[in-house]
Amino acid sequence: MELKGQAFPDGFLWGGAVAAHQLEGGFDQDGKGLSTADVMTIGANGISRKITDGIDPNEFYPNHNAIDFYHRYPEDIKLFAEMGFKAFRTSIAWTRIFPNGDEDEPNEAGLKFYDDMFDECLKYGIQPVITLSHFEMPYHLVKKYGGWRSRKVIDYFVKFATVVFKRYKNKVKYWMTFNEINNQTDYESSHALFTDSGIIPKPGENNEKLMYQAAHYELVASAKAVKIGHEINPDFQIGCMIAMTPIYPLTSKPKDVLFAQRAMQTRFWFADVHANGFYPKWLLNHFAEENFEMDITNNDLESLKEGRVDYIGFSYYMSFAVKDTGKLEYNESHDRVDNPYIKASEWGWQVDPVGLRYALNWFNDRYHLPLFIVENGLGAVDKITSDKKVHDDYRIEYMNNHISEMKKAVLEDGVDLIGYTPWGCIDLVAASTGQMSKRYGMIYVDEQDDGTGSLERYRKDSFYWFENVIKTNGSEIG
């Protein structure tokens, strides 16, 4: 099929994606409480961020001020409108609404901030697409309850969700519950457990068990929120958010193929529960074999059935590969191998546009639900010229190649795709490293890793390129 000249379906949601803690700043303003993102220091390429016990005045925390979207959002949203955005994905910082997470009443100043910000989007016909928990939760819930290791947090999350669903029921249609809930599959990484679940493992604890228990509570919380959301506004579309990294067998050796299949099951069972409303049998068998005494009640199982998601939101940056290890259980921290057919970004992320078409078809065949690509992009070092231009042809190439595969999935394979909101449409603080220098944006922000800079915004070459993609509804992409 000749793709050039053909447009995406009418109403396709082109836009961009960010998360509250990575761009807002204003970490202690207007009653906001401390979030888990506020106790993470800056790292570097290959060096993890430290998680400190509260705020250490000798450390630098890049999320505290981020790019000051909290005060500059009208200017930023105007730039998104200039690019032609139809959708803007961001998250609500739980700590602006419930500073500690366990209060009786929400913080009105926090609610008002999102009211005003959503109004600014709607003024330009941009739909807010909202994640409830994007890698953050009130730090108080971590200190007092141990984060998602506690069942009590389900109620606090559901209360938070209910408050914002009611408040924004006429402003927001598309919601997602937990960002990249399946990243904690890499449970040996303290970063993954902390950002997904606010968990700091204690010496001698079994991280794998901790991860499964926390994920279970999150899935129950998500399902309860979905059910309540639909009662508040039956038009709500509430999705999950999965980090999609297809896992390929390194060779066609049957044992490599079988192992890759188990790796996919291990990384994506979260989506099975979100979409199907029940646990896959292989995982229940795994809990039994490992003697994991899971706290899963009959009421929980009922909730899971009642709160199935409306669509699958997912991020896509890279694919993984694995080979037979002589055992069936996949350990994400150890079992990945380099795919010799794919080049990696400067941060080691294996760039694989064809994998996006594969992923879209995989999700489509498995769940028969609408899909929404809510993150995709290239983290790269950008150079700004003396006349304030950024010639980011590498980013344009990355996006062009991914959109081309996405187009094949939609037009040739018949996948039902709602939209495409590339990550970090404006430069922001990287989640994994806390760096500003790992830039994804189509808008450059003058800020360095140490927080210095004028915070001025400049349009990159990719800004004009994406503006044209949206204007032509993707028809010039071949």
Taking the complex as a whole, the smallest distance from the CB of residue 182 to ligand BG6 amounts, in Å, to 11
Nearer to ligand BG6, 88 or 145 (CB): 88
Specify the 3-state DSSP secondary structure of 33.
coil
What H or E segment, with its residue span, contains residue 256? Answer: helix 254-276
Using DSSP bridges, classify how beta strands 457-459 and 320-322 pair: parallel, antiparallel or unpaired. Answer: unpaired
Chosen residue from 189, 197, 245, 432 binding ligand BG6 by CB under 6 A: 432
* Interaction between residue 150 and ligand BG6 (CB under 6 A): no
Taking the complex as a whole, the smallest distance from the CB of residue 38 to ligand BG6 amounts, in Å, to 15
Bridge partners, residue 35, by sequence: 138
Nearer to ligand BG6, 186 or 256 (CB): 186
Instruction: Tell me which of 375, 397, 412, 456 is the catalytic residue.
Output: 375
Chosen residue from 89, 408, 438, 459 binding ligand BG6 by CB under 6 A: 438
Chosen residue from 38, 375, 382, 405 binding ligand BG6 by CB under 6 A: 375
* Interaction between residue 193 and ligand BG6 (CB under 6 A): no
Taking the complex as a whole, the smallest distance from the CB of residue 22 to ligand BG6 amounts, in Å, to 6
Taking the complex as a whole, the smallest distance from the CB of residue 350 to ligand BG6 amounts, in Å, to 14
| CA end-to-end distance (rounded Å), the chain | 10
Nearer to ligand BG6, 31 or 451 (CB): 451
Nearer to ligand BG6, 180 or 335 (CB): 180
Residue 138 backbone phi and psi in degrees, to 5? -60, 130
* Positions 160 through 179 that interact with ligand BG6 (CB under 6 A): 179
Query: Locate tokens 């250490």: which residue?
Result: 56
* Positions 459 through 478 that interact with ligand BG6 (CB under 6 A): none
Nearer to ligand BG6, 120 or 375 (CB): 375
Selected range binding ligand BG6 among 27-35, 39-47, 282-290, 431-439, rule: CB under 6 A: 431-439
Is 34 in contact with 55 (CB distance < 8 Å)? yes
User: What are the DSSP calls for 296-317, one per residue?
Assistant: --HHHHHHHHHT--SEEEEEES
Taking the complex as a whole, the smallest distance from the CB of residue 94 to ligand BG6 amounts, in Å, to 15
Taking the complex as a whole, the smallest distance from the CB of residue 158 to ligand BG6 amounts, in Å, to 22
Query: Locate tokens 């990484």: which residue?
Result: 189
Chosen residue from 238, 406, 430, 445 binding ligand BG6 by CB under 6 A: 430
Counting residues that bind ligand BG6 (by CB under 6 A) gives 15
Specify the 3-state DSSP secondary structure of 23.
helix
* Positions 201 through 260 that interact with ligand BG6 (CB under 6 A): 243
The b/e string for 193-204 (b: 16+ C-beta within 10 A; e otherwise) is bbbbbbbbbeee
Chosen residue from 13, 14, 16, 19 binding ligand BG6 by CB under 6 A: 19
Nearer to ligand BG6, 107 or 435 (CB): 435
Bridge partners, residue 17, by sequence: 89, 423
Taking the complex as a whole, the smallest distance from the CB of residue 100 to ligand BG6 amounts, in Å, to 23
Site string for ligand BG6, 389-428 (x = CB under 6 A): ----------------------------------x-----
CB burial of residue 326 (10 Å; 0-12, 13-18, 19+): exposed
H-helix segments, 325-418 = 353-367, 393-407
Site string for ligand BG6, 304-343 (x = CB under 6 A): -----------x----------------------------
Nearer to ligand BG6, 193 or 296 (CB): 193
* Interaction between residue 120 and ligand BG6 (CB under 6 A): no
d(CA 269, CA 282): 10
Specify the 3-state DSSP secondary structure of 223.
helix
Residue 375 among the catalytic residues: yes
Chosen residue from 61, 80, 118, 135 binding ligand BG6 by CB under 6 A: 135
Q: Find, among 365, 334, 362, 184, the residue nearest to 264 by Cα.
A: 362
Taking the complex as a whole, the smallest distance from the CB of residue 258 to ligand BG6 amounts, in Å, to 28
Compute the half-sphere exposure of residue 73: CA atoms within 13 Å on the CB side of its CA: 21
- Our measurement of the distance from residue 294's CA atom to the centroid of its chain's CA atoms, rounded to an integer in Å, reads 26
d(CA 21, CA 137): 10
**Tokens read off for 133:** 């928990």
Nearer to ligand BG6, 43 or 277 (CB): 43
Calculated CA dihedral for residues 118, 119, 120, 126, nearest 10 degrees: 70
Nearer to ligand BG6, 178 or 269 (CB): 178
**Tokens read off for 106:** 């929400």
Q: Is 368 left (phi over 0), alpha (psi -120 to 50) or beta?
A: left
Taking the complex as a whole, the smallest distance from the CB of residue 48 to ligand BG6 amounts, in Å, to 11
* Interaction between residue 142 and ligand BG6 (CB under 6 A): no
d(CA 362, CA 275): 14
Specify the 3-state DSSP secondary structure of 238.
strand
Residues in contact with ligand BG6 by CB under 6 A are 19, 22, 135, 179-180, 243, 315, 375, 379, 423, 430-433, 438
